Structure 1
Amino acid sequence: MKSKVVFKDYKPKENLLFPPNLSELIDQKHLVRIVSSIIDGLDIKTLIKNYKPGGTSCYHPKMLLKVLVYGYLSNIYSSRKMEQALKENIHFMWLSGMSRPDHNTLNRFRSERLKGEIKSIFTQIVLLLEKEGLVSLATTFVDGTKIEANANRYTFVWGRAIKKHKARIAEQLEELWNYAEEVAKNELQNPENLDFKEVDAEKVTQTIEKINEVLKKKKVPSKIRQKLNYAKKNWATNLEKYKKQQEILAGRNSYSKTDTDATFMRMKEDYMRNGQLKPAYNLQISTNKQFILHYSIHPNPTDTKTLESHLKGFEESYDKVPKELVADAGYGSEENYNLLQSKKIKAYVKYNYFRKDQKSGQITTSQSNRKLARIREKTFKLLQTKKGIKLRKQRCHDVEPVFAELKHNKNFKRFMLRGKNKVEVEIGILAIAHNLKKMAKAA
């Protein structure tokens, strides 16, 4: 006799007498519980102070922070997708206590409420990790990577182009002045000894007015008239625009018009593999045992000039600096060695000729900079010690895998928000998510 196939009961349309408790559906060791527990223990008094009393009730900031952190843990960076997860995903539903803040609420909390607050929250978690013996603030591994900005790749301002345009205006203004001098030598006076190398909007306006005044009764070719009319209408306005653009540049070589804090940088990760220029930020991190201890955002495409600011932020967060700092040759400048020495930090930092010196067994010296040669000699000896060799090898396995985790495993290659302050919030949330994930694995 042939046996029957037996199926388990399946009655999806039948109402449950008692709805299931979400907590019963989540494993006791699930990562979502660690996120909830750690954030529950945070001190967020300063964040709460930003809320004004009165009016309608607000969602609790700890709940919103949990949703954001768990979203970044789950590779969900869009506030709209988080809104959807709060309706469909039991982990998000459990975290929020079945509350359903919409994407606007989540985005406002992330981009506005957490500005200036996320670093303090991140620091609290790192100090907890130190207390648990999971990290040490004494030894840090420092490196940087570029992350694309949420900006238009084709609308940009270049510092060199501004200088070129200003030089062209100055040159053409001088030509017009020289022409006017030839035509009306006795009438055109230059008592101020006008310098055409440096021109501004006011100087251009005054000069064009003088030229027009002396040439108005003269027979002048139409090309000159057209040029004077164009100059009167456009040059002063353009120079004002260039002045504002240079203020935004603040010493940088470029910026994006849709995110003026972002600088155009060559991106190694571009899919064309040709190092395309894209608006981006330089993310610097300090790590220990692959945990992120500190992060900072910079407009500099290279790492060399980021260290001072990065260390300053570390000191502000922890009221101390690390005892040892390990970094690659991108940080090996005379200024950085002097900085580390002044702060009494042991500098396990390579310099450009370190490998060459290793092979030859002789320190590369320079007759023109003996001070730098002495620094290199001292650094070379430190890097060749047993501890130096150990830390150099460890650097590759400590800080670089963190970038691989963020950019490849978490697929975080482009910011969602615009502006340095908001970008720092995103990195703060991402760094918290990364540390909590590693904490869960270590538990």
Structure 2
Amino acid sequence: MKTNIYKTYYNAYQPYMLLDFNLSFDSDISHDDICRTVLEVTERINLCKYVDFSNRNSHGYDAFMMFNLVILAKALFGYASTRDLEKLCRTDIRFMFIAKNQKPSHQSFHRFIHDDLTMNIEDIFYDINKYLESNMDIDTDVLCIDGTKYEANANKNTFIWRANTVRNRTKRWKRTLNCIHKINNYFSSVNISTRYSLLKEPSIDYLLTISERLEKYMLDQNIQMVHGKGCRKPAIQKLYEELKENALKMWEYAIHMDMLQNRNSCSKTDPDATFMHMKYDYYNHTNVFKPGYNIQFGVSDGIIRNIYVSSDGNDLK
């Protein structure tokens, strides 16, 4: 039935529209849409392997429907929060098709993911990948690998270099040993037999132990610590503050080495990112290092079978 709409029919307080917005999922969603593919695959797998039905309530949403919605969101976006899932069920025709116009809340998705899913989402996609291999004519002996480097969401000037960290840590440890030597000379000048060893390898616990003993010594000797301009600090206080500063710097270098692991660089704001050359440099094309990740894909007969994300700037491994 054809409806003609003219301006004379419109007013600001019209209670309804003359257009029919009813959706027909069978005609509006193509036969090769990804939501139909998700339904086809999940109907042939053992859902009990992924969902714990013992916690499901009789009045809750269907577990098969919730599982399909989570899988579809993962396939489309890689990550979708429970708020996003709730919004998609209200606005996206593909999610409305799977949910049959039901509108689960974000709490419903949270309960399903937290209480009912028994496998990690990556493990589920691994099993789906194996299902595709067994039900499609895929030559698994041929794997075409290609990828690129993506810049991480980290600032450019937050780099940590292994060479600089090792060099600065060595210099700082030498200064720390010199400070301990001056502490031994101080105790010798006041006729106290206390003497601390000079270790070859850095030890933060050892420095903290010396700091605690210096604090106890100043407390027992009633030596007041002074601060500010015009106040002359006691000699032991200067040595204590110098040792404490060195201990903090050694602790910082230890954290940097732990963040680096076996890499030569990383970012302070994103420790998993490694500084590497990118294909395109928007910093005036100076080809500077930027924090990024190495993304590699493995494809067989047009099907993505492997995705590898690493912090290694070299593709050979």
Task: With the length of structure 2 as denominator, give the TM-score of the two structures.
Answer: 0.67
Structure 1 position 118 matched with structure 2 position 112 = no
Q: Which residue of 1 aligns with 2:293?
A: 281
Structure 1 position 47 matched with structure 2 position 58 = no
CA–CA separation in structure 2 for the residues paired with 1:169 and 1:34:
60
Structure with greater contact order relative to length (CA < 8 Å, sep ≥ 6) = 1
Secondary structure at the aligned position of 1:37 is classed as helix
**Residues 143, 286 of structure 1: 8 Å contact kept:** yes
CA–CA separation in structure 2 for the residues paired with 1:56 and 1:23:
28
* Percent identity over paired residues: 22
**Residues 59, 101 of structure 1: 8 Å contact kept:** no
Q: Which residue of 2 aligns with 1:62?
A: 67
**Residues 275, 289 of structure 2: 8 Å contact kept:** yes
CA–CA separation in structure 1 for the residues paired with 2:155 and 2:113:
22
**Residues 286, 295 of structure 1: 8 Å contact kept:** yes
Taking structure 1 as reference, are residues 167 and 10 closer, same or farther at Cα in structure 2, changes over 3 Å only?
farther
Q: Which residue of 2 aligns with 1:204?
A: 207
Q: Which residue of 2 aligns with 1:35?
A: 38
Shift of residue 294 of structure 1? 1.8
**Residues 266, 276 of structure 1: 8 Å contact kept:** yes
Structure 1 position 169 matched with structure 2 position 164 = no
Deviations 1:159-209 (A, max 9, x none): 4454344323312222224445666668687988523x4221222234557
CA–CA separation in structure 2 for the residues paired with 1:71 and 1:275:
33
Query: Please, which of 3, 24, 28 is the counterpart of residue 9 of structure 1?
Result: 3
Q: Which residue of 2 aligns with 1:246?
A: 257
Taking structure 1 as reference, are residues 153 and 105 closer, same or farther at Cα in structure 2, changes over 3 Å only?
farther
Secondary structure at the aligned position of 1:264 is classed as strand
CA–CA separation in structure 2 for the residues paired with 1:161 and 1:51:
56
Greater Cα shift, 263-272 or 103-112:
103-112
CA–CA separation in structure 1 for the residues paired with 2:243 and 2:140:
61
CA–CA separation in structure 1 for the residues paired with 2:72 and 2:94:
9
Query: Please, which of 138, 141, 154 is the counterpart of residue 138 of structure 1?
Result: 141
CA–CA separation in structure 1 for the residues paired with 2:246 and 2:38:
58
Highest CA radius of gyration, 1 or 2? Answer: 2
**Residues 179, 242 of structure 2: 8 Å contact kept:** no
Which residues in structure 2 correspond to 1:8-407 (within 5 Å)? 8-10=2-4, 13-14=17-18, 19-49=22-52, 52-53=55-56, 57=60, 60=63, 61-69=66-74, 71-72=76-77, 79=81, 83-101=86-104, 116-133=120-137, 135-151=138-154, 155=158, 157-180=160-183, 194-195=198-199, 197-207=200-210, 227-272=238-283, 273-304=285-316, 306=317
User: Which amino acid in structure 2 is aligned with residue 9 of structure 1?
Assistant: T
Alpha-carbon RMSD? 4.5
Deviations 1:329-363 (A, max 9, x none): xxxxxxxxxxxxxxxxxxxxxxxxxxxxxxxxxxx
Listed as ranges, the gaps of 5+ residues in structure 2 are 6-15, 223-231
**Residues 187, 195 of structure 2: 8 Å contact kept:** no
Which structure is higher in helix share? 1
CA–CA separation in structure 1 for the residues paired with 2:134 and 2:290:
37
Greater Cα shift, 37-46 or 183-192:
183-192
User: Which amino acid in structure 2 is aligned with residue 23 of structure 1?
Assistant: D
Shift of residue 118 of structure 1? 1.9
Shift of residue 62 of structure 1? 2.4
**Residues 211, 240 of structure 2: 8 Å contact kept:** no
**Residues 183, 239 of structure 2: 8 Å contact kept:** no
User: Which amino acid in structure 2 is aligned with residue 40 of structure 1?
Assistant: E
CA–CA separation in structure 2 for the residues paired with 1:50 and 1:256:
43
**Residues 130, 136 of structure 1: 8 Å contact kept:** no
**Residues 162, 264 of structure 2: 8 Å contact kept:** yes
**Residues 47, 117 of structure 1: 8 Å contact kept:** no
